[in-house]
Amino acid sequence: MDAGEIVCVKGGYIFTRAALAEVAPVLGPAEIQIADDLFIGPRELDEREGAMIFSNHSCEPNIGVQGQIVFVALRQILPGEELTHDWATTDDDEYTLESRCGAPTCRRILTGKDWKRQDLQRKYRGLFSWYIERLIDAE
């Protein structure tokens, strides 16, 4: 797979935050946020597998989001290679996690507000989700 090719498209149903809270206890984290109060993800357990993009975090990711649900290769990706995107480009949330991605540039501590970092805004210009892009513009 070459740089720029579409790797996956996130699918599912559209939920408000309140509706998501009803399915989240059963499904766990399976959604992505696409607008202020809108999320996309599976509704039932048997839909979960097909609705996941199975992308872990990396501080040097190999895929990036375009728009809200389309993920493209940022470089050549070999068959079987793990897919990773930088969660700073898709998340506006309240978590703090440790990154063990192994990249030389690893920032060690991830937060759901990393999109606010100017270094990351420069690094990922054009690679934030439409929703995060709007938050950046509003800052």
Residue 117 and residue 125: Cα distance in Å, rounded?
12
Residue 23 or 59 having the CB closest to Zn ion: 59
Q: Which of 34, 97, 104 is nearest to 70 (CA)?
A: 34
Under the binding rule (CB under 5 A), the answer on residue 106 touching Zn ion is yes
Q: What are the phi and psi torsion angles at 137 (to 5°)?
A: -60, -30
- For Zn ion, what does the binding mask look like between residues 20 and 59, x meaning CB under 5 A? ---------------------------------------x
Are residues 33 and 15 in contact, defined by beta-carbon separation less than 8 angstroms?
no
Q: How far is the CB of 16 from Zn ion (least distance, A)?
A: 32
* Residue 52 vs 120, nearer CB to Zn ion: 120
Mark out the alpha helices in 7-124 (DSSP H runs). Answer: 17-27, 45-51, 118-123
Number of residues that bind Zn ion (CB under 5 A): 4
Based on CB atoms, which residue is closest to Zn ion, 107 or 116?
107
Interacting span for Zn ion (CB under 5 A) from 8-16, 34-42, 46-54, 106-114: 106-114
User: Residue 65 and residue 33: Cα distance in Å, rounded?
Assistant: 12
Give the interface with Zn ion as residue ranges (CB under 5 A).
59, 99, 101, 106
